[in-house]
A and B are shown apart, each in its own frame.
Chain A
């Protein structure tokens, strides 16, 4: 749209951190489904339970493999013995469900009262004979998807050490980290296999008992932008080598991701460019809808940079990328790709706002009148009532968005409000509030 690029480099701003997002304990919702033999015990209060109960919706009624250990007044004032209490509950879980692992999720309350979960877990583990993994996924320190990061980082310690034996493989071991539905994980495995790259394991695996082998000669690569602690832990604790690549979200991202991995293994990928091209062509009907349209990311799940980069590739203009937390090292390759994408598409670099302030963002949305705001549910309906198209951001964390195969799904989500409002467009009632307030 314009030739004069605002800046040559990305700029980062930081606001007040008054924004809406999910509590990181929500990772329980998808992790208990992913790790089939696990049980998640969230040690917290009614507040945590209420959030999970409402956020998980109908899943709650399907006997999920998660529960609250609800702290009562006696637990807070230390009248009750934490160790004994946890032991009682974990034995109950063992008896009812017999999981292969119990994951304790520490919450704000366990942080504040300094309950020593890490200290108690090993003792209890030997006493009851079930591994206990501790993850502090609380709202004091983290936002939404970062919950998964804390759980996976804790699981790294449980991965067996790679035994240095057979060097029959064409390349060193490659372990991918990040929780994906099994079908999507298989798709990515197959995508790499086309280029003779074998994935030797995933963290998490779909069973706790199948955690991947890790060690000095293992290369690791992340598939989601919010996994920086896991990456650090893999490098520091298991001496793994991190492949820092853009994330396989969108055909551009997937290609760059494969290219980066290939280059590390000295492989020259064949036919990758054509494959990407073919995917883009298959998306043409959606691309026609989005080209030239503008987007505003309010920011709540850390997928924002990758999604914005993909949407810019699609021909959209991104005004602002709100993001809860920005790890510039872990996302370095993704940020670089964002920059080159902007230059290639000849659009201004978006502003990246860390720890955004929702109140100020709404003022900016009012001014900019973007064609689409990607936002949490707290703001979606009020914005729609004011004539702003919105897409509920949480859907991106639950939908299948990785790899070549699923690029269409991202655009399906993005264009849904546009298509819907196109259908209703002629009716003439897009402003549905009484006064402008």
Chain B
């Protein structure tokens, strides 16, 4: 057992539901108690979805506990089959079904005999995988199932399209800015003369999965979801994939180069002016390259930042801040513990330290210790920032409704670089403005010490010491306070006076 107040990644079934309900005409039936269909609320509220979420529950209640859920599950599946005629029904286990240990696969087999829809059981275990891992698996499972079925029926389309084409894998519901990213990726591929074959799962149709293999390659924009499917297609159908997230100027260029290599491998005759395109976009379409040369960005040089989020966004953001803006990333971290090695490798050389944890109190402690000028993280870090008076730009799920903007806000591609530049700049300037106001007495007098997540120091401040401390500008005050206290503690000084402060400054530069 562990005491938990907050989690970054949800339970496994959420991942499965996100993938299943992103497809067109796929219905998910959860094997769950009453009340576990909260996913529908989230989708309807956060995505402001106009359609009914295609998720229902086969409810586990007392009767089911006594008699087993076979009849009920089978009945619910066949009923849904008749009511809505989906192409595929995905039976989704939950934590409850994990411990009931019923043979759900057997129910699925029985139900599929009686239904016109295909029926599968999502292969996810609540106690082994989280939301993101489950989403990755479910996507692979659905693709594998459909592709294999098509192959058996001899309708699999393995002949490549005449012009270069791509599948985009891993765009799905409740994903962080996924819809906008998808539009941006389409534009990017279109600019390169590559047509889009299929986008999966968002808006994709199960019936069209037989065409997946027509594409020249797969593009997997996010590390978390889509890689398993891409690997499957690579192993079984020799489809190459590009796994570089096109986030930031440098990585967008890397992604494009990789795409062009893959295409040239398949057809060396194709005229592909990659470098010219990259150069044009970098210097003139994206404003980010110019921004990093402008004097605004100069002011950000060496400023401290902390980055935390899912593996994709945290890694990309770390590299953008360090490599493209000259910002000092003091700590980069992710809650994707299952992908820790990849993350470390990605951010190596771009940050001072790495934090892998899914415990938000550890993140809070790290932030209050480092006292960065800005944080780039999830909704949780935004709240930590609020408590510590540090501005935060939100770069990764989990997020609230305000991170499902109506306006166009991609994080990927060249337009994405503009969005990110704005986000970074606004986070830092807001912070700077705040401090300037404080220096010039614009704010109401706040208590001297507002940053108090760290433990009590054990020394007291004399009135004159405290008065002096108040004169120090807010953005360094916490640090001065801490360093002075440390200095005093080491020398067994219990009361900090102005003299002690100056002494500390001389010795340790507090």
Contact A140 B95 (CB under 8 A): no
Contact B126 A46 (CB under 8 A): yes
Interface string of A56-68 (1 = CB under 8 A from B): 0100110010011
Residues of B near any A CB (own CB < 8 A): 1-7, 10-11, 13-14, 32-38, 40-42, 44-45, 48-53, 56-57, 59-62, 65, 76, 83, 94-96, 98-100, 126-128, 130, 380, 383, 400
In whole Å, how far is A60's beta carbon from the nearest beta carbon of chain B?
6
Contact B96 A50 (CB under 8 A): no
Contact B35 A23 (CB under 8 A): yes
Contact B96 A20 (CB under 8 A): no
CB-nearest residue of chain A to B380: A61
Also in contact, A108 and B1, with CB within 8 A (given A18-B56, A47-B126): no
B1's partner among A86, A378, A433 (CB-CB below 8 A) is A86
Interface string of A129-152 (1 = CB under 8 A from B): 000000000111101100000000
Also in contact, A54 and B42, with CB within 8 A (given A17-B59, A140-B65): yes
Contact A108 B3 (CB under 8 A): no
B62's partner among A47, A70, A141 (CB-CB below 8 A) is A141
Please give, as numbers and ranges, the residues of chain B lying within 8 Å of A432 by CB-CB distance. Answer: 50
Name the segment of A71-79, A182-190, A269-277, A410-418 touching the other chain: A71-79
Interface string of A1-45 (1 = CB under 8 A from B): 000000000000000011111111100000000000000000101
Contact A379 B50 (CB under 8 A): no
Contact B40 A378 (CB under 8 A): yes
Contact B35 A24 (CB under 8 A): yes
CB-nearest residue of chain A to B51: A382
Q: How far apart are the CA atoms of A17 and B63 in the complex, in Å? A: 12
Please give, as numbers and ranges, the residues of chain B lying within 8 Å of A140 by CB-CB distance. Answer: 33-34, 60-62, 65
Contact B95 A46 (CB under 8 A): yes
Please give, as numbers and ranges, the residues of chain A lying within 8 Å of B5 by CB-CB distance. Answer: 60, 64, 67-68
Residue in B2, B40, B41, B51 whose Cβ sees the most chain A Cβ within 10 Å = B41
In whole Å, how far is B48's beta carbon from the nearest beta carbon of chain A?
6
In whole Å, how far is B382's beta carbon from the nearest beta carbon of chain A?
9
Please give, as numbers and ranges, the residues of chain A lying within 8 Å of B94 by CB-CB distance. Answer: 47
Residue in B32, B38, B383 whose Cβ sees the most chain A Cβ within 10 Å = B38
Please give, as numbers and ranges, the residues of chain B lying within 8 Å of A141 by CB-CB distance. Answer: 61-62
Interface string of A232-271 (1 = CB under 8 A from B): 0000000000000000000000000000000000000000
B6's partner among A53, A111, A382 (CB-CB below 8 A) is A53
Chain A to chain B contacts (Cβ below 8 Å), 18 pairs: A22-B35, A23-B36, A51-B35, A53-B6, A73-B127, A75-B1, A82-B1, A108-B95, A109-B95, A139-B36, A141-B62, A376-B41, A378-B40, A381-B45, A381-B48, A381-B49, A382-B49, A433-B50
**Overall SS of chain A's interface:** helix
Interface string of A350-361 (1 = CB under 8 A from B): 000000000100
Contact A92 B3 (CB under 8 A): yes
Please give, as numbers and ranges, the residues of chain A lying within 8 Å of B400 by CB-CB distance. Answer: 57
Contact A112 B65 (CB under 8 A): yes
CB-nearest residue of chain B to A46: B11
Also in contact, A381 and B50, with CB within 8 A (given A67-B5, A80-B1): yes
Top-9 shortest CB links A-B: A23-B35, A139-B33, A378-B40, A385-B50, A139-B35, A45-B95, A85-B1, A46-B11, A61-B383
CB-nearest residue of chain A to B72: A16
In whole Å, how far is B461's beta carbon from the nearest beta carbon of chain A?
26
In whole Å, how far is B375's beta carbon from the nearest beta carbon of chain A?
15
Q: How far apart are the CA atoms of A315 and B381 in the complex, in Å? A: 50
Please give, as numbers and ranges, the residues of chain B lying within 8 Å of A61 by CB-CB distance. Answer: 380, 383
Please give, as numbers and ranges, the residues of chain B lying within 8 Å of A45 by CB-CB distance. Answer: 11, 95, 126
Please give, as numbers and ranges, the residues of chain B lying within 8 Å of A47 by CB-CB distance. Answer: 11, 13, 36, 94-96, 126
Q: How far apart are the CA atoms of A61 and B385 in the complex, in Å? A: 12
In whole Å, how far is A37's beta carbon from the nearest beta carbon of chain B?
19
Q: How far apart are the CA atoms of A202 and B3 in the complex, in Å? A: 31
Please give, as numbers and ranges, the residues of chain B lying within 8 Å of A46 by CB-CB distance. Answer: 7, 10-11, 95, 126, 130
Please give, as numbers and ranges, the residues of chain A lying within 8 Å of B60 by CB-CB distance. Answer: 108, 140
In whole Å, how far is B75's beta carbon from the nearest beta carbon of chain A?
9
Also in contact, A76 and B51, with CB within 8 A (given A108-B60, A380-B44): no
Apart from A22-B38, A140-B33: 12 A-B pairs, beta carbons within 8 A: A17-B61, A18-B57, A23-B34, A43-B1, A46-B10, A47-B13, A51-B38, A85-B1, A112-B96, A113-B99, A376-B41, A378-B40
CB-nearest residue of chain B to A75: B1
A362's partner among B44, B52, B61, B380 (CB-CB below 8 A) is B52
In whole Å, how far is B212's beta carbon from the nearest beta carbon of chain A?
26
Contact A69 B3 (CB under 8 A): yes
Q: Does A49 contact B (CB under 8 A)?
A: yes
Contact B65 A89 (CB under 8 A): no
